[in-house]
């Protein structure tokens, strides 16, 4: 008589399928690849340094969202991108 394979426990099956994740909140910016973060940081720095002079913050945020979408990057909504433009550097 052939033996039935021993079934895995529910806990071991669930544990095998759990995706490793970082606990806590990660903003849309922190979820991007480092290369994307570096490019967006250049835009934020240019905005802060006045290189985008005469541009309203909302206009810059909308442009960031549009370009990011074209590149396949996820962003927050308009308020989140504006908050990111205003955020203090760490």
pLDDT digits (tens, 9 = 90+) for 39-69: 999 999 999 999 987 778 999 999 999 999 9
For residues 90 and 17, give the distance between their C-alpha atoms in angstroms, rounded to a whole number: 35
The predicted pLDDT at position 71 comes to 95
| Assigned domain for 79 exists | yes
The predicted pLDDT at position 58 comes to 93
Count of structural domains, the chain: 1
pTM attached to this predicted model: 0.67
| Assigned domain for 32 exists | yes
Interval 9-34 mean pLDDT: 81
Confidence band (pLDDT; 50, 70, 90) for 8?
A: confident
The pair of three-digit structure tokens given for residue 20, joined into one six-digit string? 């490793």
Angle at 60 between CA 83 and CA 67, to 5 degrees: 105
| Assigned domain for 64 exists | yes
| Assigned domain for 34 exists | yes
Supply the range of the domain harboring residue 42.
Answer: 26-86
Three-state SS annotation for the chain: CCCCCCCCCHHHHHHHHCCCCCCCCCCCCCCCCHHHHHHHHHHHHHHHCCCCCCCCHHHHHHHHHHHHHHCCCCCCCHHHHHHHHHCCCC
| Assigned domain for 4 exists | no
The predicted pLDDT at position 18 comes to 77
| Assigned domain for 46 exists | yes
| Assigned domain for 21 exists | no
């Amino acid at each position: 008589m052939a033996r039935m394979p021993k079934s895995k426990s529910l806990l071991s099956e669930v544990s095998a399928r759990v995706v490793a994740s970082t606990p806590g909140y990660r903003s849309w910016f922190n979820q991007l690849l480092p290369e994307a973060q570096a490019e967006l940081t250049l835009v934020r720095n240019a905005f802060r340094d006045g290189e985008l002079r005469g541009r309203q913050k909302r206009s810059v945020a909308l442009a960031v969202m549009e370009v990011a979408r074209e590149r396949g990057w996820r962003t927050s909504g308009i308020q989140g991108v504006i908050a990111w433009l205003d955020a203090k550097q760490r």
